[in-house]
Amino acid sequence: MKNYAKYWYLVVLLIVVSCADSLLVTSGLTNPAIALVIALTASLAGWAWLVKTIQKDRDQIMACLKNPELNRSKIQHKNFFGSLFTEALQKIEHSDSELLSTKQVQTILKARLNSLIKKEMLRESVLESLDTGILIFDAQHVLEFSNSAADDFLISKADQKDTHSDSSLSLSKTLFNDTVIPELSRLLTKTIQRKDATSCRRTEFEFTSNGSTNHFCAIATNLCDENQTALGTVVVIENNGEENKEKTNHAEFVSSVAHELKTPMSGIKAYVEMLIDGECEADEAMELYGFINEQIDRLTRLVNSMLNLARIESGVVDIKRHDYELNDILKKAFDVISPTAAEKEITITTQLSDLYLPVHVDKDMLGQAIINLLSNAVKYTPNGHEVCLRSRMEESSAVIEVRDTGLGIPEDSLPHIFDRFYRVPENNRSAAGTGLGLSLVHFIVTNVHNGSISVQSKVNEGTCFIINIPLGHKEKRRVQQLAASTNV
């Protein structure tokens, strides 16, 4: 039944009553007053019924609104407000679903935003943790980001100037001038001005901060999107002082090698030329042959020492570290040098620790280091003086001392004695040498054995080299661990 049908029945009923009423009056069966009463009664009854029905429908709607669980399908057909109510409900439900999807989009956007914020924070913390300075400028040349490594290259707000020009190019220049140090400002201006030539430019400069001067390399790169629209410029600033220092050291090393090789070669060339020219008497010639032989020996020693040092430093020689008793190694080194000391009438003695000194070392390399120190001590100690090799235990390290009562090293030479090719000028006539022996000792002790070496010396009183090597065996512990794991 349609929801409006009952109201049509009422209308039809009233029309029928009116017609019947009219017929009764027309036919004279009743008088007009009674007909009027009948009509009014019927109308009032119909009206009362209609009001009651509407009230009922309204109550039904109210009940439905209060309790959404009730069956609404009947209302749609039987209720006066059914279709209106249903339509309103549908619209509300539609709005609800729209609202739901809006909320979902909002949630998704929030999640994305959070994820982007996290990513940005991650990137910023990565950039912040770098030792390399990073400066990012937007397309309007305004500083967008800088990490703390780049702080030194920024100009503080107090130092910024107020002068701005109208021209956009000058404006960018002024912006850079006000933001970063002049070296970077020039680089940025050039990179942006000449972006068609290259997107990336580099400059090197020296910069003093907190009293120390360092050498830096800055690379500025223009950033573009896929449509080649300018996004900004990034500047990466690296401290390349170490690299420069390495280059300088390498150049100095090559120069030293050349010098060391050329010196004996000069002697040989001079003597050979004189011999060829026949300028020497027979006895002089013999003397020159002897000198040439000496110089060739010197060259051979030098080349061997350089090769030895290079092979050990570059790791070509395998380091074979095993467990040893330190005194055993020291005794062997002592035995090697003793005959040379005896020849020179130098009293060489040992004062080795009575304690067992366990070490985990490459015995050949450490032995070589001790031989080098003892050999130096014998070389630079005059006849009749003393050289002593000592060992002792000190906290977590084994200490080796090579002490002599020789020429000693002047104070100004002490910081250089482990440098390659360095020879103490005052002493280098006393013995032949390459200036590489102590450099090798230093490398063997510090790099190969994680130890340390120091020197104490007084001119004409003597020198003492002190080596510290970490105490302890490592192989036994490993064997025990292996045994323990097999027992389990």
User: Which residues of this chain interact with other proteins, rule CB under 8 A?
Assistant: 251, 255, 258-259, 262-271, 273-274, 277, 279-280, 284, 291, 294-295, 425-426, 428-429
Q: Which is nearer to other proteins, 107 or 428 (CB)?
A: 428
Q: Cβ 267 to other proteins, closest distance in Å?
A: 3
Q: Cβ 241 to other proteins, closest distance in Å?
A: 21
Encode burial over 445-465: b for 16+ CB neighbours within 10 A, e otherwise: beebbebebebebeeeebbbb
Q: Which is nearer to other proteins, 306 or 346 (CB)?
A: 306
Q: Which is nearer to other proteins, 123 or 259 (CB)?
A: 259
Q: Which is nearer to other proteins, 209 or 266 (CB)?
A: 266
Q: Which is nearer to other proteins, 166 or 412 (CB)?
A: 412
Reference 152, options 180, 127, 129, 188; nearest CA is 180
Q: Which is nearer to other proteins, 264 or 437 (CB)?
A: 264
Q: Cβ 271 to other proteins, closest distance in Å?
A: 6
Q: Which is nearer to other proteins, 242 or 273 (CB)?
A: 273
CA-CA distance, 31 to 27, in Å (whole number)? Answer: 10
Q: Cβ 454 to other proteins, closest distance in Å?
A: 24
> At how many degrees (to 10) do helices 32-66 and 82-129 cross?
20
CA-CA distance, 414 to 394, in Å (whole number)? Answer: 25
Q: Cβ 412 to other proteins, closest distance in Å?
A: 11
Task: Give me 21's structure tokens.
Answer: 């009423």
Q: Which is nearer to other proteins, 427 or 468 (CB)?
A: 427
Q: Which is nearer to other proteins, 101 or 255 (CB)?
A: 255
**In whole angstroms, what separates CA 38 from the centre of its chain?**
103
Task: Give me 189's structure tokens.
Answer: 């201006």
Q: Cβ 358 to other proteins, closest distance in Å?
A: 43
CA-CA distance, 331 to 409, in Å (whole number)? Answer: 26
Q: Cβ 269 to other proteins, closest distance in Å?
A: 4
- Helix (H), strand (E) at residue 403: strand 397-404
Q: Cα Rg for the chain, rounded, in angstroms?
A: 51
Close Cβ partners of 237 (under 8 Å, ≥ 6 residues apart): 132, 133, 134, 135, 149, 150, 153, 184, 216, 217, 218
What are the backbone angles phi and psi of residue 75, rounded to the nearest 5°?
-60, -45
The CA distances from residue 105 to 110, 111, 117, in Å, are 8, 10, 18
Q: Which is nearer to other proteins, 130 or 431 (CB)?
A: 431
The CA distances from residue 362 to 151, 282, 312, 450, in Å, are 47, 51, 12, 12
Reference 333, options 362, 298, 373, 304; nearest CA is 373
Q: Cβ 263 to other proteins, closest distance in Å?
A: 5
Q: Which amino acid is at 286?
A: M
